[in-house]
Amino acid sequence: MFLHLGSDKLIPVREIIALFDLTEENRRLNRDLLKLAQQEGFMVELTNEPVSCVVTDKAVYLSPVSCGTLKARAERLPWGV
């Protein structure tokens, strides 16, 4: 099954390792992760104003969709999350 991250991007749910809210208190950790992903060339920016970060085994996606919405979408899949 696939999860819609916004901006017409679908990814296989089985590839998702983590979801991060980019507005939370752990901004330093988020900043370090995003800096590394950008330096290594595996960051995919789906928007200029991301609110969440989706880490997969192939890329780090910056999504305009909130973590709560992404979680709700995943839970509506046939087997849930």
Residue-wise pLDDT for 44-81, tens only, equals 999 999 999 999 999 999 999 999 999 999 999 887 55
pLDDT confidence band for 14 (50 / 70 / 90): very high
- Provide the token pair at 3: 């999860």
Q: Which of 3, 9, 17 is nearest to 44 (CA)?
A: 9
Percent of the chain with pLDDT over 70: 93
3-state secondary structure of 55: strand
pLDDT at 58: 93
Identify the H or E element spanning 53: strand 52-56
Query: Residue 38 — very low, low, confident or very high, per pLDDT cuts 50/70/90?
Result: very high
pLDDT at site 30: 82
Q: Give the DSSP H or E segment for 4.
A: strand 2-6
